[in-house]
């Protein structure tokens, strides 16, 4: 038994510890891990909730938004009394109330070219729980270039998708799927199209599961596989994702060698020829 698990921790994590595939060593790995969650909204809420409950030792939360009443239909870590508060503050309060073992770093900023490298490289694993293409491409490029694993999730009406990129230099990255963002206005956001309130819970829980597996180095992550979930039809399809040799970030002759070489507005485009 790991000697520095105190009696309260042995009790709190007992259902992990009694599992042969987790045990005290697996729980110790979780407590020693650090995870950056980009976005404290629909996807970030279940991710933060379950990573905190699992005992991830340090959680970073990036979000520059405040809680609005319309968030409460799906962003389950925020409460009615939090309306008007920064999401990072209510997220920290929720996490520390759930599990005092967890250290919470709050970053009340919008992810940008100027801060993304310092943020992602300070953590072992990153979760992309964002709701816009600019942030998704920033997370991908920064993590891929630094070799940091990250989980990607996205939701739309009744549909969600989730995958994991391990950053090992052998699997694909997000730009292998989407070299550039779609034209502005062609993909409506949740405020325009709506989203089923329980959907981000499903996708976010899968993302949290992937993080726990990565932290314990257990099981098979969704590297090279994208799960497409349809809540209306209650179906899950697995789509293979192969590395793209022409990928601008991880391909054979990458066009993007640093964050400074790409544009993260509009089409999130490649360097000009």
Sort strands 159-165 and 150-156 into parallel, antiparallel or unpaired: antiparallel
143 a catalytic residue:
no
Q: Which residue reads 């009696």 in tokens?
A: 7
d(Cα 132, Cα 151) in Å, to the nearest integer?
15
> For the chain, what is the total number of helices (H) and then of strands (E)?
10, 8
Question: How far, CA to CA in Å, does 249 sit from each of 64, 143, 154, 228?
Answer: 27, 11, 21, 24
Alpha helix stretches (DSSP H) within 99-189? 116-120, 133-146, 174-177
Quote the longest CA-to-CA distance of the chain. 61
The angle, 0 to 180 degrees and rounded to 10, between the axes of the packed helices 44-54 and 87-98 is 30
3 state SS of 240: strand
Sort strands 58-62 and 103-107 into parallel, antiparallel or unpaired: parallel
Among the listed residues 143, 190, 247, 268, the single catalytic one is 190
Q: Which residue reads 């090279």 in tokens?
A: 224
Residues annotated as catalytic are 190
């Amino acid at each position: 038994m790991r000697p520095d698990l105190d009696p309260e921790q042995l009790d709190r994590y007992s259902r992990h510890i009694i599992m042969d595939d987790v045990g005290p060593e697996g729980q110790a790995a979780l407590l020693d891990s650090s995870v950056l969650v980009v976005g404290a909204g629909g996807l970030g809420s279940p991710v933060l909730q379950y990573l905190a409950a699992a005992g991830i030792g340090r959680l970073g939360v990036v979000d520059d938004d405040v809680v609005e009443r319309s968030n409460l239909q799906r962003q389950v870590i925020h409460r009615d009394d939090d309306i008007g508060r920064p999401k990072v503050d209510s997220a920290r309060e929720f996490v520390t109330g759930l599990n005092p073992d967890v250290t919470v770093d709050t970053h009340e900023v919008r992810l940008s070219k100027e801060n993304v490298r310092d943020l992602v490289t300070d953590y072992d694993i990153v979760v992309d729980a964002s709701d816009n293409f600019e942030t998704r491409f920033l997370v991908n490029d920064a993590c891929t270039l630094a070799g940091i694993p990250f989980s990607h999730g996205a939701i739309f009406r009744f549909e969600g998708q989730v995958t994991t990129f391990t950053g090992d230099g052998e699997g694909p990255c997000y730009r292998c799927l989407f070299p550039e963002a779609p034209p502005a206005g062609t993909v409506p956001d949740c405020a325009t199209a709506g989203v089923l309130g329980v959907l981000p819970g499903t996708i976010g829980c899968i993302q949290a599961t992937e993080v726990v597996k990565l932290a314990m180095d257990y099981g098979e992550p969704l590297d090279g596989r994208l799960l497409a979930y349809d809540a209306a039809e209650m179906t899950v399809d697995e789509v293979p994702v192969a590395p793209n040799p022409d990928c601008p970030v991880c391909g054979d002759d990458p066009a993007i060698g640093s964050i400074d070489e790409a544009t993260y507005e509009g089409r999130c485009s490649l360097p000009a020829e």
